[in-house]
Structure 1
Amino acid sequence: MKDDAASFTEEAVSKVPQVTLGFWIIKVAATTLGETGGDWVSMSLKLGYLIGSAIFLVFFIALVSAQIKARNFRPFLYWATIIATTTLGTTMADFADRSLGIGYPGGVALVVALLAASLAIWYRSEGTVSVQSIVTAKAEWFYWITILFSQTLGTALGDWVAGEDRGGLGVGYEYGAMIFGAGLLVVAALYFWSRVSHTALFWAAFILTRPLGATLGDLLDKPVAEGGLHISRLYASGILLAFIIACIVLLPQRSARREPAV
């Protein structure tokens, strides 16, 4: 029985990739694709944020279910699920701060509460929120729901910092990307030169890469008058998707090894 339990633990953990530089490169590209892809469906196709969210929710549930049923780490399935969370996070954040009319600060506050609740419930249920201790289907659902809320928060933060309307700080997309990039450098410094929990730093970095991707996505597709490059959302999404596929093929993709929760 003990050998069976150990085998199951290794199998479950193997579905989560090691967190390497390649992981973060693909993550930023995926979050940028989430911004351009989400905006293409909800804005360019004029389906609206609610319908767009419903469409991406179907993909999210289907891909998470497939990820949970998988018996080992499958890079393309894993990153497809990440992309599903980031596109859904984009439309959910836009629906909250625009369709609900609560503005960017209200959207940020709402998603912070949802993310905090997700982490708290996960921790109370499993005793840890470490991504290297996911050994049950329930823990995997917590993992993906928390990722979804972190992606949504990242979108809301990016819009709040860069946007000028709806209570935004109006710093612009270029400066917004610089701010979140600096935040990531701080997290990296804490990772290498402090004793701060690596689990806490992982989630901080995961959240910060989302607004970095969101501002980069806005920089690509927004009009020149608004500080963007005015590239078609569809073309930008296609370029980003090709880049992600190339990274998955070329960069090492190994499953995570189980480590003690921190």
Structure 2
Amino acid sequence: MNSKHHYISISQRKTIFSNKTLSSAAAIWFVTAVLGQWIFAFYVAAFYGGAAINGDFMKWNRVLPHGYIEGDTIGNMAVAIHLLFAIIIMIGGPLQFIPQIRNRFPAFHRWNGKLYLVTAFIASFSGIYMVLTKGTITGITGDISVSFNGLLIMLFALLAWRMAVVRKFKAHERWVLRLFLVVNGVWFFRIGLMLSFLLNGGPFGFDPETFRGPFITFLGIGQYMIPLLILELYFFTKDRTSNFGKLTMATALFVMTIFMGLGVFAATTGMWLPRL
């Protein structure tokens, strides 16, 4: 009896440890990602908002191809809405995943969640409009990958809303997590690009003059597909695998967090801060 009880107790401790380690790894990844996205949100607000306040809308074109076209009222409004909503999404979206806020301020959680889903949907719609009318710097492959990213955002936002309406909250939470990843595809693209610069000491797998090449094509698809695949693997590991599988997944998340942090550092120091 005692040995059996001792065996069960050790097994339970191992399960608790593996679950906590996996949850901790996910939390550290999330905090690192949010900090990086808030830095990006500050940059977007300071660069594009600052140019708008100063009336220097042509400054947008230093980063966005045909970001501002004189006389194109609808197109310019689409860009402005897209940028404004992107800031709202990056700042307010992560607050939905903080349990302390969700539990202590349920009304804020509900209304902020509605704002998050609606702004994500509208921002992606305006983003697709921008692609169709202005194109992307990466050409036709970029146009296709960014447009598909936008469609995924709208689809995931609708599914997250639907799951909340029918009170399937676990499914709702998972669709919102998927939305959180795809809505930040642009951010993942930038930190992936700058991480490659940091690790390679310069451009890798593409022509920096034309911004074309296999690595850019890979990033265009990978900016949302890779995070989604990792998330699905995390769900599978959390729900079904052994303690060893959970510890393996936790280790992989720790390693990915380190590389993501390096990408944030490279993008901040090499791309965003120099433009301010």
TM-score (norm 2): 0.28
TM-score (norm 1): 0.29
Q: Which has the higher helix share?
A: 2
Higher relative contact order (CA 8 A, sep 6+): 1
**Larger radius of gyration between Structure 1 and Structure 2:** 2
